[in-house]
Amino acid sequence: MAKDWTVSRYILQRLKQAGADHLFGVPGDYVLDFLDEVLASPVRWVGTCNELNAGYAADGYARMNGIGGAVVTYGVGGLSILNAVAGAFAEQVPLIVVSGAPPARRREAGARVHHLVDTYQLQLDVYRKITAAAVQLTDPETAPAEIDRVLAASLARKLPGYIELPADMAGKPCRAPDPNWRPVAPVSDPAQLAAAVAETAARFDRAEHPLALVGMELARQRLGSDALRLVETIEIPFASMLSSKSLLPEFHPQFVGIYQGGWSRESVRRQVEEADCLLALGAWMTDLDTGLFSTHLDPARTIFADSGRVRIGETVFENVQLGDFVRALVAALRPRSYLESHPAQPRQPRAPFVAQPACGLTAPRLYECLGGFLDDQMVLLAEPGDAFCAAPDFLIEEAENFIVQTYYASIGYCTPAALGVAVARPDKRPVVLTGDGALQMTAQELSTLIRQRCPAIVVVVNNDGYLVERELHVDGAYNDLQMWHYAKLPGVFDHAGDFAFGSRAATEEELVAALDRARREPDKLHLIEAWLPNRDCSEGLRRLGESFRRQKL
């Protein structure tokens, strides 16, 4: 069956093949021809209120789905979404941005057209810095290869990609896509891989207390099941980090806890730091994942595998891919018998949360209650802020049930990201744990959650200001916010009034009632404003604040 291929259709076909069944974005005149093709394609369009939020949504989608895509117009769109793309770059999320652009005759004339900042290369140059590959399509002959190149680089390196599609290029005929195309995963150097595995095995053999530290890069490369097979086969204890929280099940008998350097629970810190062979797999040593660089990992006893290489002591094995390394270790390492000395305990049913009558809500009780509320069908999105600090204490079974930006830490991310999660996985229910300051950044995307009928639960921790800043530093008036009636937001965005509901919980009883209602109405959106005393926060944030004030960043 013949199909008339155009550059737009080619892009859509490749995005679909790569797994993007939805695209997020905002229309604008330079991209309307492409959007017409989106509507005519099997890819579903999800319009958002602004471009930054489209980027966050596509990032959340990509974390669930392996790839995400966003469509924007030139300049005003391409530069508004930029922070979301930068975050995806920092956190290794393959997010493809398709940006419309002025047509060739305007570009070639250097015409001053609307949305142009300066030169016609500026936006491309900016995107080159925050993508695995970026292209301005100028020739339908070369466009297919260029599109393939961007997608392949993005998927291989788990980084964003950028396709600039001038308006006159969108409908240009081009060759058909090769249906057998698959992006090629990066390949390890066999000799380097073998040498790294052998050296690891030799050290592992001599160790009495080996331990695996499973990190963020495993999560981004979707190597959770490989990592689980490794730790179960060789039967050693494992710890995760905040950025890789729940990558392996937190109810697993070999799980020892979340390692955060000096911020860890003491028993976890000692087990990790005293291991005599530590397999640090995809562990990124970022400040917030290491308790502000308060880790003490002896390089002589640690094997670092990440970023395409393995480092053991002074030796670096280049071109060793994390997945190849993890899978090779399964056969190469002598199994231990951790569970003999640490038998699996029967999983204790969590004591139900009982609201104290007429008792004002506090942060510890809020998090305790939420911890008991989450179930395996829920995906928790924890905003950088107090949510992020409270998160280590939520026990979560499934990798995909927890999303946090521990490294880029862009507040406002979680509400739009929940849209991406909900669209990617209608079988899951997003639970956003956000702050008042964070919600104010991107509050309008509640509207798109409602429009798309995403039954999210959004818990807004209202503690009257930027609490994190108050804790990290002397408090200043710049941390004050306008007080909103958060619970009224659903009434603004849900015109029909039949899908989204807001409530305020200032007492434990009100919180329990609101969560109960949200659970009883699994097909509705619930926003719950948790009203906390000013400066009330999690123990985690208190500890973070102390570290920051001591270290001055």
Q: Which of residues 464-483 bind a second copy (CB under 8 A)?
A: 466, 468-469, 472-474, 476-483
Cα separation values, 245 from 142, 213, 391, Å: 42, 11, 9
Q: Does 45 bind a second copy (CB under 8 A)?
A: yes
Closer residue to a second copy in complex, CB, 75/237: 75
CA distance 212 to 89: 26
Span from 9-17, 148-156, 218-226, 446-454 in contact with a second copy (CB under 8 A): 446-454
Q: Does 87 bind a second copy (CB under 8 A)?
A: yes
Span from 304-312, 366-374, 407-415, 520-528 in contact with a second copy (CB under 8 A): 407-415
Q: Does 287 bind a second copy (CB under 8 A)?
A: yes
**What tokens appear for 269 in the block?**
């810190």
Interacting positions 289-328 with a second copy (CB under 8 A)? 293
Cα separation values, 501 from 374, 459, 496, 549, Å: 19, 12, 11, 40
Site for a second copy (CB under 8 A): which residue of 11, 12, 52, 268? 52
**What tokens appear for 423 in the block?**
């669209």
Interacting positions 18-37 with a second copy (CB under 8 A)? 27-30, 32-33, 35-36
Smallest separation (angstroms) from a second copy to the CB of 32: 4
Contacts for 181 with CB less than 8 Å, ≥ 6 apart:
14, 17, 148
**Residue 434 in 3-state DSSP?**
strand
User: For the chain, how far is it from start to end, CA to CA, in angstroms?
Assistant: 62
Q: Taking a C-beta distance cutoff of 8 angstroms, is the pair 321, 188 a contact?
A: yes
Site for a second copy (CB under 8 A): which residue of 146, 164, 168, 400? 168
**How, if at all, do strands 378-382 and 161-166 pair?**
unpaired
Site for a second copy (CB under 8 A): which residue of 82, 152, 227, 326? 82
Query: How many residues can be counted in the chain?
Result: 553
CA torsion angle 409 414 416 422 (round to 10): 130
Q: Does 217 bind a second copy (CB under 8 A)?
A: no
Report how many residues bind a second copy under the rule CB under 8 A: 92
CA distance 188 to 81: 34
Contacts for 495 with CB less than 8 Å, ≥ 6 apart:
none
* Residue in 425, 441, 324 with CA at minimum distance from that of residue 383: 441
Span from 84-92, 234-242, 368-376, 535-543 in contact with a second copy (CB under 8 A): 84-92
Residue 46 φ/ψ, nearest 5 degrees = -125, 100
Q: Does 288 bind a second copy (CB under 8 A)?
A: yes
Q: Does 50 bind a second copy (CB under 8 A)?
A: yes
Cβ-in-10-Å burial (0-12, 13-18, 19+) of 492 comes to middle
- Residues 108-147, mask of contacts with a second copy (x by CB under 8 A): ---xxxxxxxx---x--xx--xx-----------------
Site for a second copy (CB under 8 A): which residue of 135, 411, 460, 515? 411
Residue whose entry in the numeric block shows the structure tokens 């409602």: 450
Smallest separation (angstroms) from a second copy to the CB of 258: 17
Q: Does 107 bind a second copy (CB under 8 A)?
A: no
Site for a second copy (CB under 8 A): which residue of 6, 83, 192, 264? 83
Closer residue to a second copy in complex, CB, 171/364: 171
Site for a second copy (CB under 8 A): which residue of 63, 107, 365, 451? 451
Site for a second copy (CB under 8 A): which residue of 15, 18, 49, 98? 49
Smallest separation (angstroms) from a second copy to the CB of 88: 10
CB burial readout 265-289, b (16+ within 10 A) else e: eeebbebbbebebbbbbbbbebbbb
* Residue in 163, 118, 160, 113 with CA at minimum distance from that of residue 136: 163
Amino acid at 173: P
Site for a second copy (CB under 8 A): which residue of 133, 390, 489, 532? 489
Site for a second copy (CB under 8 A): which residue of 19, 21, 41, 47? 47
Closer residue to a second copy in complex, CB, 36/516: 36
Q: Does 103 bind a second copy (CB under 8 A)?
A: yes
Contacts for 437 with CB less than 8 Å, ≥ 6 apart:
385, 411, 465, 466, 467, 481
- Residues 349-368, mask of contacts with a second copy (x by CB under 8 A): --------------------
Interacting positions 387-406 with a second copy (CB under 8 A)? 406
* Residue in 460, 441, 435, 442 with CA at minimum distance from that of residue 541: 435
Smallest separation (angstroms) from a second copy to the CB of 542: 16
Closer residue to a second copy in complex, CB, 170/197: 170
Closer residue to a second copy in complex, CB, 251/293: 293
Closer residue to a second copy in complex, CB, 373/493: 493
Q: Does 210 bind a second copy (CB under 8 A)?
A: no
- Which sign does the torsion angle of CA 177, 187, 401, 539 carry? negative
Smallest separation (angstroms) from a second copy to the CB of 480: 7
Closer residue to a second copy in complex, CB, 182/485: 485
Smallest separation (angstroms) from a second copy to the CB of 484: 6
Cα separation values, 476 from 153, 275, 379, 427, 540, Å: 45, 43, 34, 43, 21
Q: For residue 260, list its beta bridge partners.
A: 262
Q: Does 89 bind a second copy (CB under 8 A)?
A: yes
CA distance 12 to 60: 20
Q: Does 459 bind a second copy (CB under 8 A)?
A: no
Smallest separation (angstroms) from a second copy to the CB of 89: 6
Q: Does 484 bind a second copy (CB under 8 A)?
A: yes
**How, if at all, do strands 133-136 and 161-166 pair?**
parallel
Closer residue to a second copy in complex, CB, 55/237: 55
Smallest separation (angstroms) from a second copy to the CB of 139: 19
